[in-house]
Homo-oligomer: A and B are copies of this chain.
Amino acid sequence: MMDKIETYHFMVEPFHVDFTGHLFLGVLGNHLLNAAGRHSHNRGWGIDQLNQTHFTWVLSRLSIELDQMPEQYAEVEVETWVESVMKLFTERNFLIRNSKDGRIYGYARSIWAMIDTATRQPSDLLALKDGDILRYVLTPDEKQCPIAKHRPVRLSAAVQPVRTIDTYYSDVDINGHINSVKYIEHILDLFPQSQFERHAIRRFEIAYKAEAYMGDTLTFVTEPSTDTLPDRTPVSTQLEIRKNAGSEAHPQGEPIVAAKVVWE
């Protein structure tokens, strides 16, 4: 069983914590993606290995649920494993734990597709390398990830944009796409300081639907829940990021990211 799990270690660096002294969620997301990359690479399924055969992994969804966010200087370990493989998607889970005292901070779930870099079309995961990927599956009976699966974000028709931003050099990754982690930063930047002072993020879900590029404008449309915490902060906010609103094809912008933030 252990050769199906990769353990990835990191220390919470001083410049990676927010004003409350806790790890930025975007940085945690980055570490999870690094752990996923390490797991894949060490099993012959890394992006560097797949690029040679014109395939690459694309992150489709990521959901993180936390009891607590690691604090500055905490030593953290991430366990990651594959829960299932379907034809076009694979589910990868994560456990996030303090490496010194074993305390579990939380869990995450992710869904990935494999695309052909020439055609940009999804590939049949079970057909690649003679189904080798199935060797690494750990079913829920073998290793549990006790958080809910992703749920679709559905905004009501009446929602209005709350912010539009331009994108620049620091927003894009090696493929020239807006970086998955940067979307998380931009989403959390929608919330006021007082909300982070009073509440912690309990769950964060993000679905990546289409790519955006340097220079695209991003419009954020949010829908806070009507349920509120005792100080009237909405319990959760669903939101969508749309690119290049105002174009003829997409006057409201083309949806590229959907997300939900749940507070406690």
User: Hey, which bits of chain A sit against chain B, CB under 8 A?
Assistant: 13-15, 17-21, 24, 26, 30, 33-34, 37, 47-48, 72-73, 168-176, 179-181, 185-186, 188-191, 193, 196, 214-215
Contacts and interface: CB of A to CB of B under 8 A. Distances in A.
A18 B193 contact: no
This protein's copies in its complex: 2
Contacts of A26: 170
A174 B19 contact: yes
B13 A34 contact: yes
Given A18-B172, A19-B173, A214 B193 contact: yes
Contacts of A191: 169
6 contacts: A14-B37, A15-B180, A20-B174, A168-B190, A170-B189, A193-B215
B173 A15 contact: yes
Given A169-B193, A193-B214, A181 B37 contact: no
Contacts of A24: 170
A174 B37 contact: no
Given A18-B174, A19-B176, A169-B191, 15 more contacts: A14-B34, A14-B37, A14-B173, A14-B174, A15-B179, A15-B181, A17-B173, A18-B172, A18-B173, A19-B174, A20-B174, A21-B174, A72-B174, A169-B188, A171-B189
Given A170-B188, A185-B170, A30 B18 contact: no
A175 B30 contact: no
Given A15-B30, A30-B15, A34-B14, A189 B168 contact: yes
B169 A18 contact: yes
B72 A19 contact: no
B181 A169 contact: no
B33 A174 contact: no
Contacts of A193: 169, 214-215
